């Protein structure tokens, strides 16, 4: 018996080294936290371990409610009034708090994830005030902008124009220390900062200096960096700064939901193992059948040739059966062996060299074959190519792959060092291409976008004009964004593609 699921709290750190040492039986890491920055998700992904968040709905709801309360309290300058003595002579009608009415306020949000959306939805039930937000422009929430009457702004605009600035973003390399002294200096003197994101999103020393100088009216911090602040820290003593101990989620209700969710997730992990390979194989057969069908629907097939595969956890490989058009392939047709020696050699070599790869799609689309024949190979030119920035390996055509001796050359190709490696695509010179993923969905969606990127490249080159290459920094940033958990290849698209595969011809 091994460990199927590992439940941890925000206090438990799981860097890559710790994940590598987990037992091979671990299939799921369940975190009782609002964020996942304490887990090396790339290392978990490489191990094929699913990272889950317990009580996610309860956390989203609780933080959104908390932000409604603290936003209104901040706008009324109420935090600065906490602890002020009631006048001994009774009411003094000449005194009024210097605040802003909610209906007249500008609320600024940095980030636009589930918590931000839930907060804004609640806010819209109370007011039609101006709400501005800043987010990665490649991930703008167009539908939500229209539905919730949001204005997209740059981060500097949010800082300069908002009466309350609320970062609600994940902690990443880009957001660490995002709000510091320079950013606070851009805010209105009458503005407030509310941080219910990770403490490290705000630079503590910069904030302390800004509050000592009175650059903004008030800072409300439900998280700090470090946490807790050292005893006697200057920020904790300031009247214009209020600090609470993770009060947004530290409630008995949320904790109960977290614990109850963990139990359900652990049971699911045990049930999945008990059902074993039968369930796993059934799903993979279905996914591969869908992949064949949509390849045909998008005209990316080549009669009965080309092949796709997926690896079972017991080391067996499911693969294209051969001798069938791709829209004829049903789950039961998927084979554990094939008469196509080429397929066996290519796929076996990839899986042997790259244990992180669990699915392979190999195609000869006209666009990819044409690009494979170009001396410069693949070029990253437009948005769809961001998936492949620094992640395309090249392999010289060896003729028909019918010699098992070719395996080591293929293994070397998919393990060659790359700027953003390991590779997720192998461009086979004068031949075609392979894409790789943890799932069939990921591998196929990468195959779709690689083909689209090749089509774009050919159209650009066909003009005869000099291509305008993307800014390397912008491309690198887009590449990172393309693999965020909620936007990774296949995450958003696969359910729709399954429906497309099941759709009957008109």
Q: What is the pTM of this model?
A: 0.54
Q: Please pick, among 135, 141, 155, 198, the residue that the annotation labels catalytic.
A: 198
Pairing of strands 164-167, 106-110: parallel
CA 88 to chain centre: 56
What digits encode the pLDDT tens for the residues 192-242? 999 989 999 999 999 999 999 999 999 999 999 998 999 999 999 999 999
329-346 burial, b for 16+ CB within 10 Å, e for fewer? bebebbbeebebebbbbb
CB 210 within 8 A of CB 221: no
Known catalytic membership, residue 198: yes
In eight-state DSSP terms, residue 135 is -
Q: How far is 474 from 100, CA to CA, in rounded Å?
A: 38
Token pair for 24: 């091979």
Ranges in the chain, pLDDT < 50: 275
CB 356 within 8 A of CB 422: yes
Q: How far is 227 from 328, CA to CA, in rounded Å?
A: 59
CB 224 within 8 A of CB 199: yes
Q: Please pick, among 76, 246, 354, 480, the residue that the annotation labels catalytic.
A: 246
- CB neighbours of 340 closer than 8 A, spacing ≥ 6? 307, 320, 322
What digits encode the pLDDT tens for the residues 30-74? 888 777 888 988 888 888 788 888 888 888 999 999 999 999 999
Q: Taking the domain 57-249, which CATH number applies?
A: 3.40.50.720
276-502 has which fold?
L-fuculose-1-phosphate Aldolase (3.40.225)
Residue 93 has what pLDDT? Answer: 63
In the chain, domain spans: 5-54, 57-249, 276-502
5-54 has which fold?
Rossmann fold (3.40.50)
Given this chain, do its domains 5-54 and 276-502 carry the same CATH topology? no
Q: Please pick, among 145, 151, 205, 227, the residue that the annotation labels catalytic.
A: 227
């Amino acid at each position: 018996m091994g460990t199927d699921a590992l439940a941890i709290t925000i206090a438990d750190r799981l860097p890559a080294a710790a994940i590598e040492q987990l037992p091979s039986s671990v299939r799921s890491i369940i975190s009782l936290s609002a964020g996942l920055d304490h887990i090396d998700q790339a290392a978990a992904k490489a191990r094929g371990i699913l990272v889950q968040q317990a009580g996610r709905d309860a956390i989203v709801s609780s933080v959104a409610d908390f932000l409604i309360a603290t936003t209104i309290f901040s706008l009324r300058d109420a935090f600065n009034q906490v602890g002020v003595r009631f006048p001994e002579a009774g009411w003094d009608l000449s005194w009024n708090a210097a605040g802003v009415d909610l209906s007249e306020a500008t609320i600024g949000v940095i980030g636009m994830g589930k918590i931000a959306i839930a907060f804004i939805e609640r806010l819209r039930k109370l007011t039609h005030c101006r709400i501005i937000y800043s987010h990665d422009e490649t991930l703008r929430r167009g539908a939500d902008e229209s539905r919730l009457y949001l204005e997209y702004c740059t981060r500097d605009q949010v800082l300069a124009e908002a009466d309350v600035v609320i970062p609600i973003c994940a902690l990443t390399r880009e957001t660490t220390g995002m709000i510091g002294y320079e950013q606070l200096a851009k805010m209105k003197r009458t503005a407030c900062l509310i941080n219910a994101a990770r403490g490290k999103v705000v630079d503590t020393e910069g904030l302390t200096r800004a509050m000592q100088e009175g650059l903004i009216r008030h800072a409300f911090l439900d998280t700090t960096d470090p946490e807790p602040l050292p005893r006697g820290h200057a920020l904790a003593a300031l009247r214009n700064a209020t600090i609470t101990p993770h009060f947004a989620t530290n409630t008995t209700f949320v904790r109960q939901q977290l614990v109850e969710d963990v139990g359900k997730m652990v049971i699911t992990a045990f049930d999945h193992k008990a059902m074993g390979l039968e369930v796993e194989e059934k799903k993979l057969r279905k996914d591969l059948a869908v992949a064949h069908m949509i390849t045909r629907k998008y005209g990316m097939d080549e009669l009965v040739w080309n092949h796709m595969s997926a690896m079972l956890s017991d080391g067996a490989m499911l693969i294209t059966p051969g001798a069938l058009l791709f829209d004829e392939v049903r789950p039961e047709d998927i084979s554990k062996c094939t008469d196509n020696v080429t397929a066996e050699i290519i796929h076996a070599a990839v899986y042997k060299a790259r244990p992180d790869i669990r699915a392979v799609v190999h195609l000869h689309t006209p666009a990819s074959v044409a690009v494979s024949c170009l001396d410069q190979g693949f070029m990253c030119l437009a948005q769809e190519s961001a998936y492949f920035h620094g992640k395309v390996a090249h392999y010289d055509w060896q003729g028909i792959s019918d010699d098992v001796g070719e395996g080591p050359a293929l293994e070397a190709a998919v393990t060659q060092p790359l700027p953003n490696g390991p590779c997720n695509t192998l461009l086979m010179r004068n031949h075609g291409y392979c894409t790789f993923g943890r799932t069939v969905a990921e591998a196929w969606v990468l195959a779709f976008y690689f083909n689209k990127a090749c089509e774009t490249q050919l159209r650009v080159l066909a003009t005869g004009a000099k291509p305008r290459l993307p800014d390397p920094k912008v491309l690198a940033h887009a590449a990172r964004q393309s693999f965020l958990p909620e936007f990774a290849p296949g995450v958003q698209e696969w359910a729709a593609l399954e429906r497309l595969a099941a759709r009957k011809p008109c």
